[in-house]
Structure 1
Amino acid sequence: MSNIRITKQFNFETGHALYGYDGKCKNVHGHSYKLSVTVMGRPIKDRTNVKFGMVIDFSDLKKIVTEEVVDQFDHATVFNETTPHVELAKELQIRGHHVILVDYQPTSENMVIDFAERIKRRLPVGIELFSLKLQETESSFAEWYASDNL
């Protein structure tokens, strides 16, 4: 039986700032992110299984990605916890804002690596994360491929 790739797309809004950056992105700003998640596996052959013919039920993949990424990052502001932005983060949290502190510079490149790790640990046996595409703007995105990270 063949390996099949399936993809589900997600949308969420997230703010961030890049501490030490020499351009506009040093300022707090946000993006309407689009995340494409592609997994690979073999369709279920057991005719008695309610998921017969599926690699993974799209609703199961949606639950994983929603819990691990979308619910966490949607309408949050992400800062690197090892920079002075931590002071701004504390002030925003005191005022009731949803802030995420990470141990990396919150670029699309680093966020897609973080998302890959979050998603991989939740996938069922036999299902592999093939790739992620995190689109920050209409013309800018970062991609993660399992084959590049062996």
Structure 2
Amino acid sequence: MNTIRITKQFSFETGHALYGYDGKCKNIHGHSYKLSVTVIGSPISDTSNVKYGMVIDFSDLKKIVKEEIVDVFDHATVFNKNTPHIKLAEELKNRGHHVILVDYQPTSEMMTIDFAKKINNRLPKNIKLHAVKLQETESSFAEWFASDN
């Protein structure tokens, strides 16, 4: 059986601040993130299966990524919960803003690791996560590959 990789792309807007950073990103700012999720598997060979010929239905992959990442992170502000930004986060929450507190520095690298774990936990057993690419700007991105982990 042939092994095929399929990729679904997503976009969302998220703000963050990097506590302790020595540059501009220590300030709250946002990005128009582009997320690419690539899974690997064999197309379904059972001709009686309604998903015959698919590795995974793109809509099934979309549902997982939207529920775990896009719907959660879109138009949110992300802070490391172990920094003094917690006071600012509480103030923003009290004013009705969507704030996410994570246990890591919310860099593209760490967000990519987090996203890979969340997606991996939801994939069917016969489908493997191959890669996650999180593009922060037009020229900057982080990538996670299963073969590296």
TM more than 0.5: yes
Q: State how 1:1-150 maps to structure 2 within 5 Å.
A: 1-149=1-149
In structure 2, what residue type is equivalent to 1:20? G
Structure 1 unpaired stretches of 5+: none
Q: Matched residues in 1 for 2:130 and 2:116: separation?
A: 10
Q: Matched residues in 2 for 1:47 and 1:125: separation?
A: 20
Shift of residue 125, structure 1, vs aligned partner: 1.4
In structure 2, what residue type is equivalent to 1:109? E
Q: Matched residues in 2 for 1:130 and 1:72: separation?
A: 22
Shift of residue 53, structure 1, vs aligned partner: 0.3
Q: Matched residues in 2 for 1:40 and 1:67: separation?
A: 20
Q: Matched residues in 1 for 2:68 and 2:41: separation?
A: 21
Q: Matched residues in 2 for 1:133 and 1:121: separation?
A: 17
Q: Matched residues in 2 for 1:106 and 1:121: separation?
A: 20
In structure 2, what residue type is equivalent to 1:87? K
What CA RMSD, in Å, does the superposition of the two structures yield over aligned residues?
0.3
- Give the match's secondary structure for 1:106: coil
Q: Matched residues in 1 for 2:45 and 2:2: separation?
A: 11
Q: Matched residues in 2 for 1:47 and 1:17: separation?
A: 50
- Give the match's secondary structure for 1:121: helix
Q: Matched residues in 1 for 2:71 and 2:117: separation?
A: 16
TM-score, structure 2 length as denominator?
1.00
- Give the match's secondary structure for 2:46: coil
Q: Matched residues in 2 for 1:16 and 1:99: separation?
A: 9
How many residues get paired? 149
TM-score, structure 1 length as denominator?
0.99
Q: Matched residues in 2 for 1:77 and 1:128: separation?
A: 30
| Residues 24-73 of structure 1, C-alpha deviations (whole Å, 9 max, x = no match) | 00000000000000000000000000000000000000000000000000
In structure 2, what residue type is equivalent to 1:52? Y
